[in-house]
Amino acid sequence: MSTGLIDLESSSPGQLPILERRSIQRKMKLTKAARYLGAMLLFVLTAWILLLAFPKRQHYISITHDFGIGFDLSPSYATVAVSYPNGTIQPIARVEGDEVYRKMMVRLSLSSSQHLHQPYQDVGEAIGDSARQLVRDTRKKLGLPSSRDVATLCNMLRALRDQASSFVGEPVSAAAISVPHLAALYGEDLYDAFEYLSLVYVEFFPFYDFRPIPAAIAAYAGNGLGLCADYRDAAACEEEELHISSLFALAVGYTHTGLTTSQAHVSSAYYLEETPTLENMHLGYDARCGFDSYWEAVRQYLERPMVTSPVQRNISMVVLFGDAVEKPEFREVLKQAIGVIGGEPEIVDHQPEFSAAKGTAELAKRAIYRQMKGLNITSESEL
């Protein structure tokens, strides 16, 4: 005996054995379900393609102020500062990171979290990363932050921006950001977070899209180093910054939750080469009671950038930033570590909790000035 639609037509359904009838009904249901599912998929696919093809909604955001706002992210908190055109630079606030933020920063400090990202080195990288970018684009088109990490960053940046807005008494439309050198904390995510919040991402490094400001250089600038005296005099400023002598520094970011160290080649605040860089999110000050050899481990982390460098450098400066660098025990260990290289390097550590945000704010103010001036020059030359 055969089954199928022909049987159904030739004999009345009532005559079929009950089991068989059920199986036919089930098959019909399944076919119907498959068709339905197919139609759904086609619809979703079409909608998705249309969504991706739809031109991105343009936010016409422009910079509305001449002061500079600087954000600085640390492993467990972030800070914000303002630099006014009259030369006053002020810390504004410190915002604690929540559990999600802290976990994200620990994850991003691991080299296992690294992945392809913009800007790409070559076409191969761009192709290899296209699936991830497609997901990001889709999320953006749906009005969502482009990834979960971007959403986490958005929450932090929104809090910093709101603090800044209420401090300066007007909406903040642009800011710059500095970050510690964590293995997988990419400018791409920061850029997307700014975009989501309709904030202009102020950049300084020409030809380096998406490159965030390293906290070490931000702290250096926040101590008043590497910058010309009068940024309004463009020619003199450029000349002056060109002649700032370069030197090698040990850069140390030490907070209650993490330790980052590097050997930094610094000169003007628009230049930085950091190598090697080390980061450990388990060597913060709060971990000191957790294990016996804590201070020994910290000392090794401080020494390593100086002694493991392929070329023995003349380290003549130590740049310190973060909310724990003033702890006496830390200073003692730092002194021992510096002893390894001999000499008396200059210690640069003014307002270490806020120095990176302050330096970033100052860099932002100068970049905004140049941009505004540039715009006026172009519009004048077009007349």
Where does this chain bind ligand NAG (CB under 6 A)? 84, 86, 88, 247, 314, 316, 372-373, 376
Name which of 253 and 345 has its Cβ closer to ligand NAG: 345
- Minimum distance from residue 101 beta carbon to ligand NAG (Å): 30
Name which of 21 and 313 has its Cβ closer to ligand NAG: 313
Write out the chain in H/E/C secondary structure. Answer: CCCCHHHHHHCCHHHCCHHHHHHHHHHHHHHHHHHHHHHHHHHHHHHHHHHHHCCCCCCCCCCCCCCEEEEEECCCEEEEEEECCCCCEEEEEEEECCHHHHHHHHHHCCHHHCCCCCCCCCHHHHHHCHHHHHHHHHHHHCCCCCCHHHHHHHHHHHHHHHHHHHHHCCCCCEEEEEECCCCCCCHHHHHHHHHHCCCEECCCCCCCCCCCEEHHHHHHHHCCCCCCCCCCCHHHHHHHHHCCCCEEEEEEEECCCCEEEEEEEECCCCCEEEEEEEEECCCCHHHCCCCCCHHHHHHHHHHHHHHCCCCCCCEEEEEEECCCCCCHHHHHHHHHHHHCCCCCCEEECCCCCCHHHHHHHHHHHHHHHHHHHHHHHHHHHHC
- Minimum distance from residue 338 beta carbon to ligand NAG (Å): 13
- Minimum distance from residue 376 beta carbon to ligand NAG (Å): 4
- Minimum distance from residue 369 beta carbon to ligand NAG (Å): 6
- Minimum distance from residue 82 beta carbon to ligand NAG (Å): 8
Name which of 130 and 312 has its Cβ closer to ligand NAG: 312
Name which of 30 and 242 has its Cβ closer to ligand NAG: 242
Name which of 7 and 273 has its Cβ closer to ligand NAG: 273
Name which of 114 and 376 has its Cβ closer to ligand NAG: 376
- Minimum distance from residue 318 beta carbon to ligand NAG (Å): 13
* Whole-number Å distance between alpha carbons of 57 and 351: 41
- Minimum distance from residue 163 beta carbon to ligand NAG (Å): 16
Name which of 83 and 152 has its Cβ closer to ligand NAG: 83
- Minimum distance from residue 247 beta carbon to ligand NAG (Å): 4
Please name the residues in contact with 146: beta carbons below 8 A apart, sequence gap of 6 or more: 136, 137, 139, 140, 189, 192, 196
Name which of 112 and 314 has its Cβ closer to ligand NAG: 314
Are the CB atoms for 68 and 365 separated by under 8 Å? yes
Name which of 89 and 221 has its Cβ closer to ligand NAG: 89
Are the CB atoms for 53 and 144 separated by under 8 Å? no
- Minimum distance from residue 375 beta carbon to ligand NAG (Å): 7
